[in-house]
Amino acid sequence: MKLLEEVKLLQDIIKIYSPSGNEKKLSDFLLNSLKNQNFEVQQDREWNIISSIGSGAPYVLLTSHMDTVSGEIPFRVEANKIYGRGACDAKSPLAALLSAFVRFKNKKFKGTLIFAGVTGEEAPNSRGTLELMKKVKADFIFLGEPGSVDGITIGYKGRLLLKVLFKGKASHSSSEEENPVLKFIEFSNKVIGIHRGENLFESLSYSPTSIVAESESNVMPSECRATIDIRVPPGLSHEDILKEISKYLDGEIELVEGVDGVITSKNNILVKTLVKAIREHGLSPKYKRKTGSSDMNLLVRLTENIVTYGPGDSSLDHTDMECIDIEEYLKSIDILECAISEIIRITSS
């Protein structure tokens, strides 16, 4: 019966379309779901859902995000897989963490177990997690993101999200006036090759995602605006990178988001505990380092004892084929329950 309830929870969560900025319906659903099971729960001003059981140290935080990227996908169940927007990123990790949390309701343990469903992760600056960090203590953090049932994500690159403006002078395209588009190209050519490492995770990546320079075909534009997404490997400060590339910029720059990369040691207690739990469930653990960023980049400020884990194939993130295998989802709950129990036992001894 418990497994059926956990699958139904996942289905209900996926059915609720919750793109960034429109998470309240899902937030209300989780609020009522926890209340109906007699949990103490609060909904804050950012629509985060926070519930805790137990008391005192150690504080173990289980958290994932409720929001998705835009673009609704019709919900369906087919061949033991559930399809829908967020099925992979990150509603199955969210539901897995919540299900694991619920399993501890009637267990006796020393410490405090906290579940938090947060908002705004898919939008710049993760408004939900920043608000959550003002409210909770955390000695250990399990962050939910897709990485497969046997995957342990130990690292994420940092991010610089920038808006840049290059100015010129509207004139005939045959003139010698400064062309702002060429300024953007020159800037890009200088930045794109810096800080190259042995692989993508260890390298600075430079990706213009929007370029606007409107004019007639024979008129040089007066300005060129661009949005640039730069991913910064751990060990490099996003602030230092911003200072470095600003030297190459013949224009104006606006920082939209800036966060450093994060890496957790394979010897970290949470990582070792997950390794053990995964092996106990008949799987071979795999370490993963992701070239994007997540709330792990922020939550590490609360504690270095942090790891990311969750069911789902991350290659399906943000695609129209988002889905989750039901058996993988259920096994991930068992693994989380095992790992959390080990952490509480270790810290209580």
- Catalytic residues, by residue number, are 67, 121
Task: Report the candidate in 59, 49, 64 with the shortest Cα–Cα distance to residue 303.
Answer: 59
Task: Report the candidate in 208, 186, 187, 204 with the shortest Cα–Cα distance to residue 195.
Answer: 204
Name the DSSP letter for residue 19.
B
List, as one string, the DSSP characters of 194-261.
SS--SSSTTS-EEEEEEEE----TTEE-SEEEEEEEEEE-TTS-HHHHHHHHHTT-SSEEEEEEEE--
CA-to-CA distance for 208 and 133, rounded, in angstroms? 31
Which residues contact residue 245 at a Cβ distance below 8 angstroms, ignoring those fewer than 6 apart?
190, 191, 194, 230
CA-to-CA distance for 88 and 92, rounded, in angstroms? 6
Which phi and psi angles does 3 have, rounded to 5°?
-65, -40
Name the DSSP letter for residue 24.
H
Largest interatomic CA distance in the chain: 78
**Edge-to-edge strands, sheet with 81-83:** 76-78, 81-83, 323-325
